[in-house]
Chain A
Amino acid sequence: MAVVLILVLVAVASVLFHLLSPWWWTPIASNWHYIDNTIIVTFWITGVVFVAVVLFVAYCVYRFRHRPGLKAHYEPESRKLEFWLATVTAIGVAAMLTPGLFVWHQFVTVPSDATEVEVVGQQWLWSFRLPGADGKLGTSETRDVTSDNPLGINKNDPAGLDDIIISGGELHLPMDKPVKMVLRSIDVLHDFYVPEFRAKMDMVPGMVTYFWFTPTRTGTFEVLCAELCGVGHPQMRGTVIVDNDEDYKTWLGQQQTFTQLMASGETKTVN
């Protein structure tokens, strides 16, 4: 009997915990509420299945627990039942997968008006680069990284000369403008992760990865590294500040371009 009660308790307590616990996702700050919606759909479908199956098991244990004289029923299989269960399951799975794939399609389709923002990871800090007046990021190469060119920007590429370099780990973004985060690493794997934006992507040395989103509210958000990158992994933090247009312009005006930095010799080894 204890078994039956505890099984029921497991089902009920899990649901109550889900409903009442204070731990839930952070308030969203990007356009990816589609992702949140898909999670909700998934919670519903899986939650119903979980409760139904556990309660069914509890009922079976209650109803068919051994008593003297009880004899089990002999029934090797039932094609019909198995067919129906398979069909219903397939429908449930499709109900989760279909919206999921639609949203994934949006996730991988970067809008043409998205501004590129480059994030460069290294053990254990973040740097950022914004395209300058030409709207284009210059090319870069890990081989070109030196103490006065820590991001390895190609000095012979004119597109790179006006790029804006932000070291010190604090990036500003304008609200409601789609951005394409272009991700690079010069040493090991890292992962650019801001929980409020719901998106993340690994940064892989030797290649450029990306994802896009649109910030939908102003505020200060913490950047975490979400890919184990050595002993400093949990300390690898940064900040993204989403501004309204005016504040963003003011901030942008204070930043220095690659050329200015090279001239002033201010860029030092960031380690």
Chain B
Amino acid sequence: MVNIPSSMDDPIPPAEVEDVELYHSHSWWTTYVFSQDAKVIAIQYSMTAMAIGLVALVLSWLMRLQLGFPGVFTFIDAERYYQFITMHGMIMVIYLLTALFLGGFGNYLIPLMVGARDMVFPYANMLSYWLYLLAVLILVASFFAPGGPTGAGWTLYPPQAVLSGTPGGADWGIVLMLLSLIFFIIGFTMGGLNYVVTVLQGRTRGMTLMRLPLTIWGIFTATVMALLAFPALFVASVMMLFDRLLGTSFFMPAIVEMGEQLQHAGGTPILFQHLFWFFGHPEVYIVALPAFGIVSDLISTHARKNIFGYRMMVWAIVIIGALSFVVWAHHMYVSGMNPNFGFFFATTTLIIAVPTALKVYNWVLTLWRGDIHLTLPMLFALAFIVTFLNGGLTGLFLGNVVVDVPLSDTLFVVAHFHMVMGVAPILVVFGAIYHWYPKITGRMMDETLGRIHFWVTFLGAYLIFFPMHYLGLLGMPRRYYEMGETAFVPPSAHSLNEFITIVALIVGAGQMVFLFNLFWSVRHGKDAGGNPWRATTLEWQTPTTPPPHGNFGKDLPIVYRWAYDYSVPGAAEDFIPQNQPNDDRISREPS
């Protein structure tokens, strides 16, 4: 690695990495389609993720129509309903959020924010996107395959996932789902290695680890976790594929299906659950940590104040990442595993609450004595704090093993995870898009449309998911195509379900405003200039906007300070870019 001077008084040698002509692409195809430029790949990832995410959104409307008005929409039968649930959940978690945060924001922001020309392995990075696209296409194909997509729930629990009582279980659905996951994971691994190596090896001079913006810390840690967690899903998928296609019995015990003895024997369904959640729990944080990182930077920039407790924030991200590998079985308290596991997993789970809470405190303390600009990114960041806090606190119910017993598999769980890993990260995605759009396109997104979008999304999502907790407390199970006549469910609960459905449709419509804004502003948005938010990090200091291939023109920037020199006493402006020399010695970055 380059020798980085440890004290700011050392003379700093000039950048060695110069822009090299050879490296640029020369044809339209290699510039825009088979591009190796991380920024183009980022946009490809993001557009694909949003397109498939739109499918998941439409599926959520259909599910809500059925739940709010059971029996009215006759084309939604039980089979379709379970297929919708499964595809909705899987797409939202993996093909939208994971792809968008890591493939999208990761690709765009890592090289720019660490001061690199590109990812370290651009070719593998390009392959990563094309494998992701292939995975998405296989997933979409399952909608048209005989028997339709799988309806096993996004958790794909065997044995039902591969049996005929579940849609797609004995047809193509589950096979295509597993294949798609396998390709996704291979593709992700290629991208993920890039993100990690680029953060570790590609940083420009002066960019020490403890000067990285928290966005990068979040994406970096999430990627390391994903590289360690996805293999568990990978083996589980391969084994289940063998069970389904070759008749092995990794997860299949002796089974009598509809009166018929099956050939399987000796496998254990619980093993799959352990593998799935060994991946699945870290997955929650793979989505959450980039959101944590990004929201920290949004708050700091738009409150014109350094993030409070930067080092604590970094350590909290790392500790949460590490601990999240030893809490997976909190999803299995009532799975039938040895109940004594409950003591261990409840304890680890509640311990994670402490670093997580500290992050929330530090976000709010960053607002304290700030100079809060209520821009669109700031509004979304505030909404994130509210929804994440809400979802995090209900996590304390579900993590506390005995409290989980009545609540697990009810709508309380659905409400909880939507709040914490659905709504909260999506709000950050929106905030981040409003924030970085001017860098990506050179134009601002429309403010009025953005505000409409914000209020509809924030308040709507809260109205959908907050009351839903109480239906779960009442005892309504999740994954119910229809409640039917159930003595303990009062008619008022059905009215609440209708209300939730109507709000969900409105929130969905609100997203169309966003999409319109996204495309319209490319040409018609206000001119943004290079640094409209007056931010300190390197991506805002590029010679041109949007940044050129190679990002920084002839010389790479040299970093002299941390990412949070906002409102430094004695400074002329209320921000000092990271690449501004520290002659004045007024920064007080923690060290």
Chain A residues with a Cβ under 8 A of chain B: 3, 6-7, 10, 14, 17-18, 21-26, 32, 34-35, 38-39, 42, 45-46, 49-50, 53-54, 56-57, 60-61, 64-66, 70-78, 81-82, 85-86, 89-90, 93, 96-97, 100-101, 103-105, 107-108, 122-123, 141-143, 145, 147, 152, 183, 186-189, 191, 193, 195-196, 198-207, 209, 220, 222, 224-235, 237, 269, 271
From A71, A226, A234, B483 is in contact (CB under 8 Å) with A234
CB-based contact A64/B368 at 8 Å: yes
Q: Mark B352-394, 1 if CB is under 8 A from A, else 0.
A: 0110011011101101111111100001001001100110011
Q: With A24-B474, A82-B309 given, name 19 new contacts (CB 8 A).
A: A23-B473, A35-B405, A61-B374, A66-B372, A66-B373, A66-B374, A72-B304, A72-B370, A75-B306, A76-B309, A97-B346, A123-B165, A142-B255, A187-B255, A201-B336, A202-B336, A203-B336, A228-B479, A234-B483
Measured in the bound complex, the distance between the Cα atoms of B456 and A6 in whole Å is: 13
Q: How far is the CB of A184 from chain B (nearest CB, A)?
A: 10
Contact A188 B165, CB 8 Å, known A24-B470, A104-B346, A142-B256: yes
Measured in the bound complex, the distance between the Cα atoms of B367 and A200 in whole Å is: 44
CB-based contact A145/B256 at 8 Å: yes
- Chain B residues, Cβ within 8 Å of A76: 306, 308-310, 564, 588-590
- Chain B residues, Cβ within 8 Å of A142: 253-256
CB-based contact B402/A104 at 8 Å: yes
CB-based contact A200/B339 at 8 Å: no
Q: How far is the CB of A80 from chain B (nearest CB, A)?
A: 11
From B360, B382, B403, B481, A35 is in contact (CB under 8 Å) with B403
A23 to B, closest residue via Cβ = B470
Q: Mark B533-561, 1 if CB is under 8 A from A, else 0.
A: 00000000000000000000000000000
Q: Is B496 an interface residue (CB 8 A)?
A: yes
Measured in the bound complex, the distance between the Cα atoms of B168 and A231 in whole Å is: 11
Measured in the bound complex, the distance between the Cα atoms of B480 and A230 in whole Å is: 11
CB-based contact B270/A207 at 8 Å: yes
Chain B residues with a Cβ under 8 A of chain A: 78-79, 82, 151-153, 157, 159-160, 163, 165-167, 169, 253-259, 261, 265-270, 303-306, 308-312, 334-336, 339-340, 342-343, 346-347, 350-351, 353-354, 357-358, 360-362, 364-365, 367-374, 379, 382, 385-386, 389-390, 393-394, 396-397, 400-403, 405-406, 408-410, 459, 462, 466-467, 470-471, 473-475, 477, 479-484, 486-488, 490, 492-493, 496, 564, 566-569, 574, 588-590
From B312, B471, B588, A74 is in contact (CB under 8 Å) with B588
- Chain B residues, Cβ within 8 Å of A122: 256
Measured in the bound complex, the distance between the Cα atoms of B567 and A202 in whole Å is: 56
Measured in the bound complex, the distance between the Cα atoms of B496 and A239 in whole Å is: 26
Q: How far is the CB of A102 from chain B (nearest CB, A)?
A: 9
- Chain A residues, Cβ within 8 Å of B390: 14, 50
Most chain B CB neighbours (cut-off 10 Å) among A32, A104, A107, A145 = A104
A–B complex contacts, Cβ < 8 Å, 28 sampled: A24-B473, A53-B389, A60-B364, A64-B369, A64-B372, A66-B371, A72-B305, A76-B588, A76-B590, A93-B354, A96-B350, A97-B346, A97-B350, A104-B342, A104-B346, A107-B405, A108-B340, A123-B165, A152-B256, A183-B336, A188-B159, A196-B488, A204-B270, A206-B254, A206-B267, A222-B487, A222-B488, A224-B477
Measured in the bound complex, the distance between the Cα atoms of B157 and A260 in whole Å is: 38
Measured in the bound complex, the distance between the Cα atoms of B488 and A195 in whole Å is: 9
Q: How far is the CB of B141 from chain A (nearest CB, A)?
A: 22
CB-based contact A200/B78 at 8 Å: no
CB-based contact B358/A86 at 8 Å: yes
Q: Which 4 residue pairs across A and B have the least CB separation, nearest first?
A: A206-B253, A195-B475, A230-B165, A209-B336
CB-based contact B360/A77 at 8 Å: no
CB-based contact B372/A222 at 8 Å: no
CB-based contact B346/A200 at 8 Å: no
Q: How far is the CB of B341 from chain A (nearest CB, A)?
A: 10
CB-based contact B405/A200 at 8 Å: yes
Q: How far is the CB of B437 from chain A (nearest CB, A)?
A: 21
CB-based contact A232/B165 at 8 Å: yes
- Chain A residues, Cβ within 8 Å of B567: 71-74
From B78, B254, B304, A143 is in contact (CB under 8 Å) with B254
CB-based contact B484/A198 at 8 Å: no
Measured in the bound complex, the distance between the Cα atoms of B499 and A21 in whole Å is: 14
Measured in the bound complex, the distance between the Cα atoms of B413 and A227 in whole Å is: 13
CB-based contact A53/B360 at 8 Å: yes
From B159, B258, B346, B396, A42 is in contact (CB under 8 Å) with B396
B313 to A, closest residue via Cβ = A77
Measured in the bound complex, the distance between the Cα atoms of B401 and A35 in whole Å is: 10
